Amino acid sequence: MAKRDDLGLRAALADRLLPVLVAAMSFLAALGLAGTLASASLAHSWQSQASDTLTIQVPQPNNPDASGKTTRLAAVQAALAQTPGVTNPQVMSQADENALLTPWLGEDATQLGLQMPGVISASWAGPGSPDALGEALDKISAGTMVDAGAVWAARVAALTSSLQDCAAAVLVIVALVAAAVVAVAARAGLAQRRDTITIVHGLGALDGDIATRFANRAVVLVAAGSVAGTLLALPVLDWLAALAAPFSGQMTGSALSNVPMPLWFILPLLPIAAAGIGWATAQLTVRSWLRSLP
């Protein structure tokens, strides 16, 4: 079929409503994509920080240990230094402990007369989980507790995995809604141009030719709407990225500089994907409708 608008599709295929609806869908898809990327990035960052961290609490740290030769805190620290897989054991200073407890206990927790445990931070680089470490340290200094970051890392992983699933579900829903919007627009165009299409069909137009004319028109409208929606999403993404900067360790800067680099590569794919959805949906809708003709 000729490249000209013989079917009158410029007038028939909603050239105002469809791009606006697709722009809205693309806006949401851009946010969904950003959410997927952000949750993946945060998950990676938090897990790598938390999974290898050990926090050991030693009650009555200055009392003698089981052997009576040294303090409980020093005994645990020495044991940690000799345990394979444990690296960099550091006793937390009183000042650091106070800083941690200040939100709950005030400026100087020692004035409350509480028995503060000694705290040792270390990294776990051994194979498997450090579960057996707690039992070993308890024998050296009764009541010693080991808090492994891996437990928290697993919880963070579960949370961020759920967030990623939600973001992916949003993307799928947005894609389905966009396809439905294109299908409705194509059916409206078919209804409006029913006589024309019946005539052209009778003159020997192939189903594929007619469907491609609709699909090409849909691609133009969908791509235009999607580009607009994606561009409109950029300032919002920049604002959200600026809000999230303290958590991700990034610095805020000039306009749009907060948008993560991977998004700059992925966002241009959004109009392409939208155009693909529009083309395929229009093809399917029109070919299905043409089946009603002999």
Give the residues lining the site for another protein (CB under 8 A): 1-2, 4-6, 8, 11, 195-196, 199-207, 209, 294
Q: Tokens 């409980």 correspond to what residue?
A: 72
CB of 199 or CB of 236, closer to another protein: 199
Q: Are 233 and 26 in contact (CB under 8 A)?
A: yes
CB of 147 or CB of 209, closer to another protein: 209
Min CB(267)–another protein separation in Å: 38
Say how many residues make up the chain.
294
Nearest to 178 by CA among 85, 64, 282, 263: 282
Three-state DSSP class for residue 117 = coil
CB of 72 or CB of 213, closer to another protein: 213
Q: Are 5 and 147 in contact (CB under 8 A)?
A: no
CB of 6 or CB of 131, closer to another protein: 6
Q: Are strands 118-124 and 86-91 parallel, antiparallel or unpaired?
A: antiparallel
Min CB(5)–another protein separation in Å: 8
CB of 97 or CB of 207, closer to another protein: 207
Q: Where are the beta strands (DSSP E) in 3-125?
A: 53-58, 86-91, 118-124
Task: Give the span between the Cα atoms of 64 and 74, in whole angstroms.
Answer: 9
Residues 6+ apart with CB under 8 A from 34: 233, 237, 240, 241, 260, 263
Cα-to-chain-centroid distance, residue 233: 16
Q: Where are the beta strands (DSSP E) in 112-236?
A: 118-124, 145-148
Min CB(14)–another protein separation in Å: 17
User: Measured between alpha carbons, how far is residue 115 from residues 130, 134, 169 in Å?
Assistant: 27, 21, 50
CB of 6 or CB of 96, closer to another protein: 6
Nearest to 79 by CA among 138, 125, 128: 138
Min CB(8)–another protein separation in Å: 4
Min CB(190)–another protein separation in Å: 15
Min CB(199)–another protein separation in Å: 5
CB of 10 or CB of 155, closer to another protein: 10
Min CB(179)–another protein separation in Å: 24
DSSP 14: -
